[in-house]
Amino acid sequence: MKAPTSLIAAAEKAILECRNAASPVRGSGEVAEVARLVVSLPENLVNEWAPHLSAGRLEITGVFTHQTPKALWTDPRTGDDQSPELADLLVIVESNDAWGSTQRALLVQAKVADARRTDGRFTLAKKGPAVQRYLYAHWPPFKLTGLTAHSRQFNIAPRVAGTCPGSRYASINVNTPAPDSGWWVEAAQPAIPTKPGPASPGASSTATARVPADPRDPVSVVDYDGSFDATVSLGEALREMILGTLGTPLDKDPEWKGVVDHLIAVATQRDVAGMKMPGVFATSAGVKLEHIVTANRVMKFAPTYVGPYLLLNEDTVVHHSGNVGSWPPGRDGTFEPFIEAWPGGFGIIHMRLSSAEWKDGEASDERPIG
């Protein structure tokens, strides 16, 4: 699918607007920033991308769910059971046209950027944060919480370490100057650290090689804490997902599809319950922050009109049966909220492109989806 480069700047503007003074979410930190993105990005991004769309339908849905599913796995270094959160954000890009349908998924672990910096550098402490980094670097077999019973065991590790297209760390920096959004994504799956190895033949006695650390050796494996650089803007990452160069194709990987289906089921269950966003507060007293937000545009050529016109111009719709369609599955009405405390938050952004065509004359790439 073609994707004009102009979508990057437009997406960055939309993401940045999620944090402006009009945001209904107040507070700071990862959970609040993810909430701002989920609540406001559907309408913002549709508004910014619609002028670049010449035909087809663009629909974006944001779902904020509670109690981030935990990933249950056994650390091969120590034999200890671990249960870090799986992610802060799930991004799904779906493309439907006459040739079929494709879906790509990206799990994002978000961290707040280092203070007094304007780029995407972030620092992870030992223990909990380092365990999360280990999970993303190795993807050992794991189960998921969030439903009545734990899931089956999933194995989403890539065949070649470091090549997973479906998981990335992200950094959020509120000090990044405009026009950049302040959301930065790492360019690759977290790398497996290296350790000192035997010296190469002919090398000096002080020279040592660097070899991948054996994940089964608790002595040789270095910690996964430290400082890391996220350098790809989230706007660029979204375009890469449309191009098919980022995100795991779900139709070709049943393990990944199983993980995404589980997360959708958790999101649906918690939305049906109508629970209050955990750790997130509205800017004004009495304002309820909704959990599902959908915005869409349909562009169509008219026989008597040169150029596209806006066939459907819906405002952001929340908790209205029929507007959300089949996302999440099983949604068929409105629900009364009740308050329940949960110690975490998780967001889902779902983008659906139906027979979408971008305007000619804009620089673009066209790469195979798959």
Of 117-121, 210-214, 263-267, 279-283, minimum mean pLDDT range: 210-214
CB 75, CB 83: distance < 8 Å:
no
Q: Is the pLDDT reported for residue 100 higher than 90? A: no
Q: Which residue has the higher pLDDT, 188 or 65?
A: 188
Q: Which residue has the higher pLDDT, 302 or 73?
A: 73
Q: How far is CA 248 from CA 236, 256, 268, 314, in A?
A: 16, 7, 22, 30
Name which of 93, 106, 111, 122 is nearest 34 in CA terms.
Answer: 111
CA atoms within a 13 Å half-sphere pointing along the CA-CB vector of 156:
33
Question: How far does the chain reach from its first CA to its final CA, in angstroms?
Answer: 11
Neighbours of 200 (CB within 10 A): 10
Q: Is the pLDDT reported for residue 350 higher than 80? A: yes
pLDDT of residue 161: 83
**Mean per-residue pLDDT, 62-87:** 82
Name which of 259, 268, 353 is nearest 55 in CA terms.
Answer: 353
Q: How far is CA 339 from CA 140, 279, 285, 344, in A?
A: 35, 12, 15, 14
Tens of pLDDT, residue by residue over 3-12, are: 899 999 999 9
pLDDT of residue 259: 93
Banded model confidence at residue 345, pLDDT cuts 50, 70, 90: low
Number of domain units in the chain: 1
Distance CA 351, CA 295 (A): 10
**Mean per-residue pLDDT, 240-252:** 94
Distance CA 347, CA 139 (A): 21
**pLDDT over 70 percentage in the chain:** 72
Residue type for position 64 = F
Structural domain of 123:
2-366
Q: Is the pLDDT reported for residue 308 higher than 90? A: no
Question: Mean pLDDT over all residues of the chain?
Answer: 77
Banded model confidence at residue 284, pLDDT cuts 50, 70, 90: confident
Q: Is the pLDDT reported for residue 73 higher than 60? A: yes
* Residue the block writes with tokens 């997360």: 263
Q: Which residue has the higher pLDDT, 265 or 255?
A: 255
To the nearest 10°, the Cα dihedral for 206, 209, 212, 218?
Answer: -20
Burial of 243 (0-12, 13-18, 19+ CB in 10 A): buried
CA atoms within a 13 Å half-sphere pointing along the CA-CB vector of 288:
13
Name which of 131, 125, 148, 124 is nearest 72 in CA terms.
Answer: 131
Q: Which two tokens stand for residue 278?
A: 């955990």
Banded model confidence at residue 311, pLDDT cuts 50, 70, 90: very low
CB 114, CB 98: distance < 8 Å:
no
Report the run of H or E that residue 40 belongs to, with start and end.
helix 30-49
Banded model confidence at residue 325, pLDDT cuts 50, 70, 90: very low
Q: How far is CA 171 from CA 108, 112, 338, in A?
A: 10, 6, 32
Q: Which residue has the higher pLDDT, 130 or 67?
A: 130
**Mean per-residue pLDDT, 274-289:** 71
DSSP notation for 148-199: SSPPPPB----SSTT--TTEEEEEE-TTPPTTS-SEEE-SSSPPPPEEE-PP
Reduce the DSSP state of residue 131 to 3 states and report it.
helix
- Which residues face 310 on adjacent strands? 299
Name which of 349, 346, 323, 347 is nearest 334 in CA terms.
Answer: 323
pLDDT of residue 6: 94
pLDDT of residue 323: 30
Distance CA 230, CA 169 (A): 7
Of 65-79, 111-125, 301-315, minimum mean pLDDT range: 301-315
Mean pLDDT is highest, among 15-19, 132-136, 173-177, 230-234, for 230-234
Name which of 293, 320, 305, 340 is nearest 54 in CA terms.
Answer: 305
Tens of pLDDT, residue by residue over 186-241, are: 999 998 876 655 544 554 444 444 445 555 554 434 578 889 999 999 999 999 99
pLDDT of residue 342: 34
Distance CA 10, CA 47 (A): 9
Distance CA 80, CA 58 (A): 45
Distance CA 53, CA 359 (A): 6
